[in-house]
Amino acid sequence: MADYRLIIIGGGLSGLAAGIRSARFGRKTLIVERHSLPGGLNSYYYRQGYLLETGLHAMTNFAAQGAKHAPLNRLFRQLKLSRKKFITHEQLGSEVIFPQASLQFSNDFDLLCEEIARHFPAGIDRFRAMAKEIDTYDPFAEVPWQSARDFLHDRLADPLLEDMLLLPLMVYGNAEEHDMDLGQFAIMFRALFLEGFFRPQGTMKDLIDMLLDQYAQFGGEIRFRAPVEGIISKDEKVRGIRLENGEEITADAVLSTVGIPGTAQLSGWPLALDMDEYIGKMTFMETISMLPEVHLPPERAGRTILFYSLNDELKYHRPAQAIDPSWGVICFPDNFQGLERQHDAPTQVRVTNAANYELWQQAAQDKEQYRQVKEECGQQSAAAVSQILGQYNQDAVFQDSFTPMTIERFTAKCGGAVYGSPIKIKSGRTPFENLFIAGTDQGYLGIVGAMLSGVTIVNQHLLG
């Protein structure tokens, strides 16, 4: 008999959710995580006494408690977590800013419609018709790749509006450059525009602890600092894993959340295409500033997330320079409903820009050069953002940034590709009959998406 019914590689959000699902019905389950902390891409760390979240801008897919079919609430039922006790803070409101126009949106879809009616009067009826179509589209059906750009252009016929809608949807969940798959577009459209942004009460650590507790409650086991070095296989089946320290652990099935390239490397899975095709080109740099106070221009006060482009056209592709500051995301993690900032606690601004992995990798060969590139990019980013916010970070008490190298180091995502492979495997299947993948490369993205992925793959393949 094998040591475990199921071994899950990776203690990120998809792995934890999959673990809860598996352990809940009495299956002996083990999660192995290479780091000393859980959470993967969306974890936390301590710096100068602050608990900083690595990723969190906002969670997507907001749903009020009681809306039973909403993905967020379904997820809670599946994990047997109480949605009633899970306190959420909705966004104040966000905005997409282009040189010629801007569009506000919130968790009330009507606001986006009003904004479109105001700035694109000719486009509002078409937009409403398109939103209806998206609402009934099945993004999980296994159909060939279809261009979201062609779809949008056909329905809206207004390149500016098309790009403005695509910016938030792409930057929060598109592994491809230039265009995105229509199914992915539909998932993101619902997650951001129809459902919306919120923050859980407390920090990312509280959310992750809640998952860990639930997993432990059901008898699940987790090992940290346990990097997997290989997946052991015989013929068409996998038998277990080998850790870097040489230890072998067997299991009836293995679920990997480390992406297609990572899983292929560990298992010797012969990929259909060149490995490069599975390594996403979109990676990012993020700068976090702590400020005593943010003074925003009055028309931008009280926003939660700003998606900006200083160009008329959206340039969603790998930049030729280390970063492309001409478009990006500005997030104010304190600007959610009902969050009270502690008196004289500093406030945070997070700025995200697309980055070029190869250039960062070259710079990282030399410590001093890396530091310099990091500083220059931080300045470029701040200069671009000040075109929108005015001088905002002069008196920052603290700044930290992470780069594609940081992402790669902490998440083992090849090329620092936050959204993983541009080619997804929606079924979660691999050539090995009892090896499955979940998480980013299965196609659901973001915090809620990653957890849904873990749940779905366990339900489909592992509970029988």
Partner 1 sequence: MTRDEIKDIILEIIEDIDEDADFDNLDADQPLRDQLDLDSMDFLDIVMELRKRYKLQIPEEDYPELATLTSCVNYLEPKLQDV
Tell me 421's DSSP state. -
Query: Binding of ligand FAD at residue 403 (CB under 6 A)?
Result: no
User: Do residues 92 and 304 make contact, with C-beta atoms less than 8 angstroms apart?
Assistant: yes
Q: How many CA atoms lie within 13 A of 6 on its CB side?
A: 32
Say whether residue 56 binds ligand FAD (CB under 6 A): yes
For residue 130, give the 3-state DSSP assignment.
helix
Torsion of CA 323, 325, 326, 329, to 10 degrees: 110
The encoded tokens of residue 279 equal 């390594």
Task: CB nearer to partner 1: give 75 or 285.
Answer: 75
**How many residues belong to the site for ligand FAD (CB under 6 A)?**
37
Question: Within 268-366, where are the H helices?
Answer: 357-363
Please give the span between the terminal C-alpha atoms of the chain, in angstroms, as a whole number.
18
Q: Is residue 66 part of the contact set for partner 1 (CB under 8 A)?
A: yes
Smallest distance from partner 1 to CB 85, Å: 9
Contact 415, 404 (CB under 8 A): yes
Six-digit token string for 287 = 């700068």
Pairing of strands 248-256, 237-243: antiparallel
Smallest distance from partner 1 to CB 398, Å: 41
437 is an interface residue for ligand FAD by CB under 6 A: no
Q: Is 286 in the site for ligand FAD (CB under 6 A)?
A: yes
Q: Using CB under 6 A, which of the segments 44-52, 158-166, 334-342, 412-420 binds ligand FAD?
A: 412-420
* Minimum CB distance to ligand FAD smaller for 218 or for 402: 402
- Among ligand FAD, partner 1, none, partner that 78 touches (CB below 5 to 8 angstroms by kind): partner 1
- Establish if 74 lies at the interface with partner 1 (CB under 8 A): yes
Q: Check binding of 78 to partner 1 (CB under 8 A).
A: yes
Let me know: does 295 contact 50? Beta carbons within 8 Å.
no
CA distance 390 to 164: 22
The nearer residue to ligand FAD, 244 or 312, going by C-beta atoms, is 244
Which parts of 290-329 interact with ligand FAD (CB under 6 A)? Answer: none
77 scored as a contact of partner 1 (CB under 8 A):
yes
Using alpha carbons, select from 386, 384, 360 the residue that is nearest to residue 372.
Answer: 360
**By C-alpha distance, which of 262, 332, 290, 282 is closest to 56?**
332
Closest separation in Å from C-beta 378 to ligand FAD: 15
When asked if residue 219 is in the footprint of partner 1 (CB under 8 A), the reply is no
Q: Compare residues 117 and 243 and give the one whose CB is closer to ligand FAD.
A: 243
Per CB under 8 A, residues contacting partner 1 are: 24-26, 66, 68-69, 74, 77-78, 80, 82-84, 459, 463
Per CB under 6 A, residues contacting ligand FAD are: 9-15, 32-35, 40-42, 55-60, 227-228, 257-258, 262, 286, 407, 411-413, 418, 439-440, 445-447, 450
